Chain A
Amino acid sequence: MSKTDLLLDVRNLKMHFPVKGSFLSKTQNYIYAVDGVDFSISRGETMGLVGESGCGKSTTARAIAQLYKPTGGEVYLKGKDLIKASAGELMEARKNMQMVFQDPYASLNPRMTSGDIIAEPIRIFQKRGLVDMGKDAMNERVEQLMERVGLSRFFKNRYPHEFSGGQRQRIGIARALALQPELILCDEPVSALDVSIQSQILNLFKDLQQEFGLTYLFIAHDLAVIKYISDRVAVMYLGLIVEISGAKDLYKKPLHPYTQALLSAAPIPDPKVEAQRRRIILTGDVPSPDKQRPGCYFYDRCSKRMDHCKTQRPRLKETEDGHQVACFLYHDPE
């Protein structure tokens, strides 16, 4: 993979949220939602991001989109660091980077028609003189987008509540495509959908990628969904990435004990397979990201922990071609 193929390059990204300390205490407490994340995505690639609730997936996507001002790190989109970018440069970058959200109910304005929702990004950029499109062209574009995502153009004047969950997600996808971005950050876009609708939308994402050469960061907590959609997968735990690898490799040969546990916990829709499986049952719950730890963040729940895992933090390191893991089972502490 040559450097020129890189569309997004995230380095040591940190997002710490200040929270109120206890009453009367003077110290400022933080939630270390994302605490030093590194990964990159090539043009046309789908990077899956998995992990349990609260591990920082959404925060990572939002910090990349600059919906939050990151606490630290660099986010290069086509070589330009968005964190240091001027307001004008950021606006230009936003045109090239859109988001699709989990909850199609909450992310669409209930008082706007589906046509207006899809056209909104174009209108916003038009106001700032960054897009030039006549009324007819805009209309035409909205209708094309609707048909492309599988909605009849005759539904243009309907409001979100008149659509089903799957249809609303299609509206959200059409809106994200309106400005012809290269990168789409998808935050659990199929998690709220029924099985039969989920597979329709997953296939739509795949088709659109082929047709428009899109690049995705695709967040889900369902490992099978991630496997289906992704070329490469990053596994997150407590604000950190613990493993990155090609999707097939990760499932065949998970390295990090957390990835192994996560994979073994995921149910497989086949009674014969389920009857043969041995699960690694993790004890305890995911700890809260309210403090930074000197050692490995998975230490408390790890069945293979060693003494030095408690005192030193393993960094993400390459083991084999493209497979990266942050675990002392695979490399020695510095």
Chain B
Amino acid sequence: MTNEVILQVKDLKTYFTVDEGLVKAVDGVSFDLHKGETLGIVGESGSGKSVTNLSVINLIPTPPGKIAGGQVLFHGKDLLAMPQAEIRQIRGNKISMIFQDPMTSLNPFLKVSTQMIETIVLHQGLDKDAAKQKAIEMLKLAGIPAPEKRIDQYPHQFSGGMRQRVMIAMSLSCNPEILIADEPTSALDVTIQAQILEIMQELTKRLGTAVILITHSLGVVAGTCDTLCVMYAGRIVERGPTDVIFEDPKHPYTKGLIRSVPRLDVENSERLYSIQGQPPNVIDLPDCCPFYPRCEKAMDICKKKYPAIANFEQGRAVSCWLYSGAKDE
């Protein structure tokens, strides 16, 4: 990780219009991504992790969705203001993606070789033979045995874990600057997850790729991410270096979340902590802290106004009235 910021997300807002009202799926999200950094986004189902990242690459289905505000600066250029033709040059090339289910991005009717060669030829301007060599090399790096044979197989001939490795090989074959991985291991077994995460880390480190890793697993984040964003109901409630946040979580939601996960490495004979209640429905959310009904530390002000962001040393930011100071009411 270096000090060079390559992606800046600024006050991003993405809304969906549905029959029941307005879904503020992402409502004022900001973060920076540095060259070579692995940034984790954690949060519960529906908190806006996937929508954040689909917005970053300008892939929000419109309608029902709409980017209602904000900027996504990639080397200073706003991806949200770019013509589609230009962003298509970036997507899959400078910024590539892996999803939870590799079958959504692999074409089941085409051999892996065809799909990989096409991408490499398109984005890197290599001829077909050179592209095939490159593809084989990437598959090998991703841990596919006998890649020169397997490359001519169809996606369904691979197991789930192997398909995800094919996806990693494919998405890194154009030396992207940013890899966005949306729950890349959530559908896999732990032993396969460990393989995939290791391959992903090793390859991105070697190639200097920055990674945005979306997951709901605090364990995965702890082992892989330099920085962490914790999302709740469409906002980032806490952001900072991963080790610092785990050591000293500030937002009551982050605190509760960390204490709610059972751990393998400690003798936990006592009862597991539970955050009471349920995550909110993000339809027509009132303009106050969405966590207050579940918060042990809730104060009057929490029901009235959304907390401003409080900044701490080491680039930490927390969005909670405990820290933003209820004084400016």
Interface centre among B190, B220, B223, B243 (most CB of A within 10 A): B190
Tell me which residues from 237 to 284 in chain A have a Cβ below 8 Å from any Cβ of chain B: 248, 251, 261-274, 277, 279, 281-283
| Residue A195 at the chain B interface, CB threshold 8 Å | yes
Give per-residue flags for B258-301: 1 if the beta carbon is below 8 A from chain A beta carbons, else 0: 10111111011001111110110000000000000000000000
When distances are taken between beta carbons in the complex, the residues of chain A under 8 Å from B267 are 248
Tell me which residues from 234 to 270 in chain B have a Cβ below 8 Å from any Cβ of chain A: 242-243, 246-247, 256-258, 260-265, 267-268
| Residue A209 at the chain B interface, CB threshold 8 Å | no
| Residue A211 at the chain B interface, CB threshold 8 Å | no
**Distance between Cα atoms of A286 and B193 in the complex (Å):** 13
Contact B159 A285, beta carbon cutoff 8 Å: yes
Contact A251 B222, beta carbon cutoff 8 Å: no
CB-based nearest A residue for B198: A281
Tell which of A26-34, A88-96, A219-227 binds the partner: A219-227
Contact A268 B223, beta carbon cutoff 8 Å: yes
Expressed in whole angstroms, the minimum distance between the Cβ of B314 and any Cβ of chain A is: 14
Tell which of B19-27, B86-94, B211-219 binds the partner: B211-219
When distances are taken between beta carbons in the complex, the residues of chain B under 8 Å from A279 are 194, 198
| Residue B118 at the chain A interface, CB threshold 8 Å | no
Contact A195 B189, beta carbon cutoff 8 Å: no
| Residue A152 at the chain B interface, CB threshold 8 Å | no
Contact B191 A265, beta carbon cutoff 8 Å: yes
Chain B interface size, under 10 / 10 to 19 / 20 to 34 / 35 or more:
35 or more
When distances are taken between beta carbons in the complex, the residues of chain A under 8 Å from B57 are none
Contact B265 A194, beta carbon cutoff 8 Å: no
CB-based nearest B residue for A206: B271
The listed residue (B191, B193, B222, B271) touching A268 by CB distance below 8 A is B222
When distances are taken between beta carbons in the complex, the residues of chain A under 8 Å from B220 are 267
When distances are taken between beta carbons in the complex, the residues of chain A under 8 Å from B223 are 267-268, 271, 274, 277
Contact B189 A221, beta carbon cutoff 8 Å: yes
CB-based nearest B residue for A166: B278
Chain A interface SS verdict (over half): helix
Tell which of A179-187, A196-204, A326-334 binds the partner: A196-204
Expressed in whole angstroms, the minimum distance between the Cβ of A303 and any Cβ of chain B is: 13
Contact A199 B272, beta carbon cutoff 8 Å: yes
CB-based nearest A residue for B256: A196
The listed residue (B189, B194, B242, B274) touching A286 by CB distance below 8 A is B189
Count of residues in A whose CB is under 8 Å from the partner chain: 46
Contact A228 B216, beta carbon cutoff 8 Å: no
When distances are taken between beta carbons in the complex, the residues of chain B under 8 Å from A195 are 44, 216, 218, 257, 260-261
**Distance between Cα atoms of A261 and B191 in the complex (Å):** 7
The listed residue (B192, B193, B257, B271) touching A196 by CB distance below 8 A is B257
**Distance between Cα atoms of A303 and B261 in the complex (Å):** 31
Contact A223 B263, beta carbon cutoff 8 Å: no
**Distance between Cα atoms of A263 and B194 in the complex (Å):** 11
| Residue B36 at the chain A interface, CB threshold 8 Å | no
Say whether, besides A199-B260, A286-B189, A272 and B274 are in contact (CB < 8 Å).
no
The listed residue (A199, A223, A271, A272) touching B273 by CB distance below 8 A is A199
CB-based nearest B residue for A274: B223
Contact A262 B190, beta carbon cutoff 8 Å: yes
Contact A269 B162, beta carbon cutoff 8 Å: no
Contact B194 A270, beta carbon cutoff 8 Å: no
When distances are taken between beta carbons in the complex, the residues of chain A under 8 Å from B265 are 268, 270, 273
Expressed in whole angstroms, the minimum distance between the Cβ of B171 and any Cβ of chain A is: 21
When distances are taken between beta carbons in the complex, the residues of chain A under 8 Å from B221 are 269
**Distance between Cα atoms of A2 and B130 in the complex (Å):** 70
Contact A164 B198, beta carbon cutoff 8 Å: no
Expressed in whole angstroms, the minimum distance between the Cβ of A123 and any Cβ of chain B is: 30
Q: What are 19 A-B residue pairs whose CB atoms fall within 8 Å in the complex?
A: A52-B189, A52-B191, A194-B45, A195-B261, A196-B257, A200-B276, A202-B272, A221-B189, A222-B262, A227-B262, A227-B268, A265-B194, A267-B194, A267-B223, A268-B263, A269-B219, A274-B223, A283-B195, A285-B162
Contacts A223-B264, A263-B264 aside, 6 further interface pairs with beta carbons under 8 A come to A221-B189, A222-B262, A224-B264, A265-B194, A281-B198, A285-B161
Instruction: Return the 4 tightest CB-CB contacts between A and B, nearest first.
Output: A267-B219, A228-B262, A269-B218, A274-B223
